[in-house]
Amino acid sequence: MLQRHTRLAAVTAALLVSLASTASAQVTLWDQSNWNTTSEGSLNHNATSCSQISGNTKLHTANDVHFDQPVHITSVTIYETPGNVEAATLAYLWIAPKTGAMPTESIANIATAANSKPITIATVTNGAASARSVTVSGLNINLPAGDYWISLTPRHNRGTFPYTVHLVTSGPVIGDPTPSLLGCTAPGTWSIVLPTPYDYAIKVLGDYPVATVASSWAKVKSFYR
């Protein structure tokens, strides 16, 4: 009997260790970080105002992503060219189920205080080319399996030429091409802004749901029997 209790304790400890390590492991949930080194892209920023004189605008790109299973998102990164984005400290993060080839959400529901998140900017390279990664981290977003729109738009003015643009990918379009929302007035207009439809560069990190303690305890009890 003592031996069986010892074996039970060992199995229980192993399961707990497995749960802890799996829950803390960060994995890539969606990866289109293959940004195009030719600097092809389009504006993706929310300025303090829209003005034909300054060229400031509110233009939000949105990527479609697919998850085969439930996910827990901890960070989202997009890739942009150098410029005014380097001074940005906040961005609007909007995530919503994808129900068609083009989103229909109003800018009034995207550029909100609840969606404003702190960001970090870093330099990334690909050979001689360099870009800026724009990351919102520390997220705790749980989503069921399915298709979603993800939009991460830094908050800064356009500045002077060359303007910061969200880089397109060097690979084929997966799903539908990335649309942009011109949101100077609500509800705004969604469209494909470049002559050639592209996907834009993005990476989503997080982890996958793990077995609950209850289900693991059932395994332990089954082993004990």
Reported as a single tens digit per residue, the pLDDT across 72-84 is 999 999 999 999 9
Distance from the Cα of residue 74 to its chain's centroid: 9
pLDDT of residue 53: 83
Instruction: With a cut of 80, say whether residue 6 has pLDDT above it.
Output: no
Distance from the Cα of residue 151 to its chain's centroid: 7
Band of pLDDT at residue 160, cut at 50, 70 and 90: confident
Total domains, the chain: 1
Mean pLDDT, rounded, for 149-158 = 97
Cα–Cα dist 32/98, whole Å: 18
Cα-flanking dihedrals φ and ψ of residue 174, to 5°? Answer: -110, 120
pLDDT of residue 8: 38
Band of pLDDT at residue 11, cut at 50, 70 and 90: very low
157 belongs to a structural domain: yes
179 belongs to a structural domain: yes
Of 24 and 128, the one with more pLDDT:
128
7 belongs to a structural domain: no
pLDDT of residue 211: 54
pTM of the model: 0.83
165 belongs to a structural domain: yes
16 belongs to a structural domain: no
Over residues 29-60, the pLDDT tens digits come to 999 999 999 999 999 999 999 998 888 999 99
Q: In one letter, which amino acid is 6?
A: T
92 belongs to a structural domain: yes
Band of pLDDT at residue 103, cut at 50, 70 and 90: very high
**What size, in residues, is the chain?**
225
Over residues 110-144, the pLDDT tens digits come to 999 999 999 999 999 999 999 999 999 999 999 99
Mean pLDDT of the chain: 86
Token output for 117: 């998140």
Cα–Cα dist 117/139, whole Å: 9
Instruction: With a cut of 90, say whether residue 12 has pLDDT above it.
Output: no
163 belongs to a structural domain: yes
Structural domain boundaries, residue 60: 27-210
Band of pLDDT at residue 91, cut at 50, 70 and 90: very high
1 belongs to a structural domain: no
pLDDT of residue 33: 98
